Structure 1
Amino acid sequence: MIKIRDLEYLDAIDTHRHFGRAAEACFVSQPTLSGQIMKLEEHLGLTLIERQTRKVMLTPAGEELVTEARNVLRAANNFEASAKALLDPFSGDLHIGLIPTLAPYLLPHIMKDLNEKLPKIKFYLHEDKTKNLLKSLDDGKLDLIILPWLDEMDKFDRYDLFEEPLVLATSKDHELSTAKIVNLSKLKDFEVLTLEDGHCLRDQALGFCFTAGAKEDHRFQATSLETLRYMVSSNMGITLLPQLATVNHHITNTIKYIPFEDPKPNRQISLMLRSGYSRMQCIRAVVSSVKASMKEVL
């Protein structure tokens, strides 16, 4: 009989492509994991793993069946979550995914209220790029994600939380720094510093900049908003930053944050979850708490 644990081992091997790391992720020894996978292969009469000296790969049969394995694991997790929700919808673990350009600036404003309003929920926070978070949500490894809404996310259920304006960041010595408010068209012909590929904020900001006639500064692509901020403060260029990243920031004596005139460039921050997710009472409580918290901030 195939066990849930066997499917977890197969999932881990596909994720890590290494028996040792997969065993570590499953909290078992490598011989235990390897032996169980061999038993699974014998039971199915199929070779699932292509074992090479320096790497581990799934065979075509393994690639097809690991998708089915994840569907079963997701269903099992949903079953367990539904049972717990019947006992107490406001208790248990909740895994939340956020992107790096949002997590450090949003969490200080929402976690205190969430912990107070949902004291029996144990929150696990996961920071990653958008593509990886969407996959983890789809695979059932996350309960929900909070990130800027993009059109390609329409396969998930969505709760809009708030709109976050983008502001212009310049050094105090830049020619635009004296403006108290700026029209997006003022960026025409300026070069704008950006994040590296993989950050959804990069694409959103560039969309606004290109519409205004600005250009991307190709000399450097930052890995974080903090890198962008310090480049701007050194008068190496200008950029667009989310408003939350400017709240209570400590180097405002070297950098200017200038709001845009209407219509302001912004990003829609939304909570997303899988269709049919079982713990909806808990989700609605999270949505309500975050909305209330952010009204005080924005």
Structure 2
Amino acid sequence: MTITQLYYVLAVAENQNFTKAAEKCFVTQPTLSMQIQKLEDELSIQIFDRSKKPIELTDVGRKIVTQARNIVNESYRIQDIVDQQKGFIGGEFKLGIIPTIMPTLLPMFLKTFIKKHPKVKLKIEELTTEEIINRIKDGHLDAAIAATPLENENIKERVLFFEPFVCYIPKEHRLHTNKKINISDLDISDMLLLEDGHCFRDGVINLCKAFKNHEDDKFQLESGSIETLVKLSNEGLGMTLLPYLHTLDINDKEKENLHYFIEPSPAREVSIIYHKSELKMQIVEALQDVIAGIIRGAIAFQNVKIISPLPNKR
């Protein structure tokens, strides 16, 4: 049994196709198939049910894939140990960022990070929290930036900053004349929300439900982007809540519609998250240092109350 064989097994399990797996592993399909067959012969079992289209794992194959993933990840630790011993910060690093953080935070730190750590090759993807958790678990992401806490036993979290919620209230709205907003003033029925699947949406719902009981929530409108929510609010379709960093980019006229909460301000906790195996920690720490250094000058709020990003949490 070899690490390479286990790596090939993981590739086939992911792609459910020998040809696609071979392409991902940069080997010929016969080579990959032969190595997997040798492993199956050695173990005297079938890892894959080749009669199914697409190929499926057998019952024992699923257990083997789980263990193979642990072994392959641990094998990467050897190079990781060497890199850390040498103080080397470089190589490919796959980073996921949730959609409500990507457009504001990434432009703030990316150029600085690249300049400070030119040997790191960042591969960045915009992904939902659910996608991020699955990809970290499967070893397809090295780390991610997301709203926390996630309460996942396989994932570790390092807090980067706390980002307050800010109300965006058009002039026609009942709360527009309020200088400061109390959480109890909010009513989910006139709130514009992001589409299902966004953790910021879940945070807003959790915030409102902390003070109001709604057996049958009805939302006027839901959208896929925060920018769209602002435009819809400008049309008088309701108020919305924005992450603080999004408020820095809106124009002066729209800033007249911003209203802050009475302290402690509701806020989301934003963290860099990674697998509990703690691979490539030197790059995780480098990202943390750069982002923390930049964000200190952008967010001055101290008295905040963290709102859970998890559905049905308060």
- TM-score bin (small chain): 0.7 to 0.9
Instruction: State the match for 2:265 in structure 1.
Output: 264
Query: Conserved in 1, the CA contact under 8 Å of 2:188 and 2:208?
Result: no
Which one is further off, 247-256 or 144-153? 247-256
Return the offset for 1:3. 3.1
Q: What do the CA deviations read for 1:30-50 (whole angstroms, capped 9, x no partner)?
A: 454444433332332211112
Note closer, same or farther for the CA distance 1:152–1:183 as it changes in structure 2 (3 Å cut).
same
Q: What do the CA deviations read for 1:84-127 (whole angstroms, capped 9, x no partner)?
A: 22233323333222211212211111112222322332222232
Instruction: State the match for 2:274 in structure 1.
Output: 273
Report the residue type matching 1:228 in the other structure.
L
Note closer, same or farther for the CA distance 1:253–1:270 as it changes in structure 2 (3 Å cut).
closer
Query: Conserved in 2, the CA contact under 8 Å of 1:49 and 1:59?
Result: yes
What is the identity percentage for the equivalent residue pairs of Structure 1 and Structure 2? 32
Which one is further off, 157-166 or 247-256? 247-256
Instruction: State the match for 1:70 in structure 2.
Output: 69
Q: Is 1:212 paired with 2:211? A: yes
Distance in 2, Cα, partners of 1:9 & 1:98: 28
Instruction: State the match for 1:86 in structure 2.
Output: 85
Q: For 2:151, what is the secondary structure of its paired residue? A: helix
Instruction: State the match for 2:285 in structure 1.
Output: 284
Query: Conserved in 1, the CA contact under 8 Å of 2:22 and 2:32?
Result: yes
Instruction: State the match for 2:109 in structure 1.
Output: 110
Distance in 2, Cα, partners of 1:54 & 1:107: 40
Q: Is 1:37 paired with 2:31? A: no
Query: Conserved in 1, the CA contact under 8 Å of 2:191 and 2:220?
Result: no
Return the offset for 1:277. 2.4
TM-score (norm 1): 0.85
Distance in 2, Cα, partners of 1:232 & 1:77: 49
Return the offset for 1:254. 9.6
Distance in 2, Cα, partners of 1:148 & 1:111: 19
Map 1:238-249; keep pairs closer than 5 Å. Answer: 238-249=239-250
Return the offset for 1:278. 5.2
Note closer, same or farther for the CA distance 1:54–1:218 as it changes in structure 2 (3 Å cut).
farther
Distance in 2, Cα, partners of 1:97 & 1:189: 30
Note closer, same or farther for the CA distance 1:232–1:251 as it changes in structure 2 (3 Å cut).
farther
Query: Conserved in 2, the CA contact under 8 Å of 1:77 and 1:140?
Result: no
Instruction: State the match for 1:174 in structure 2.
Output: 173
Which one is further off, 189-198 or 46-55? 189-198
Q: Is 1:7 paired with 2:18? A: no
Q: For 1:125, what is the secondary structure of its paired residue? A: strand
Query: Conserved in 1, the CA contact under 8 Å of 2:143 and 2:273?
Result: yes
Which one is further off, 86-95 or 100-109? 86-95
Report the residue type matching 2:106 in the other structure.
L
Return the offset for 1:157. 3.3
Report the residue type matching 1:9 in the other structure.
Y
Distance in 2, Cα, partners of 1:39 & 1:161: 47
Instruction: State the match for 2:190 in structure 1.
Output: 191
Return the offset for 1:56. 1.9
TM-score (norm 2): 0.82
Distance in 2, Cα, partners of 1:122 & 1:289: 16
Distance in 2, Cα, partners of 1:261 & 1:21: 55
Distance in 2, Cα, partners of 1:16 & 1:193: 39
Report the residue type matching 1:142 in the other structure.
L
User: How many pairs align?
Assistant: 297
Distance in 2, Cα, partners of 1:109 & 1:136: 25
Instruction: State the match for 2:307 in structure 1.
Output: none
Report the residue type matching 2:108 in the other structure.
H
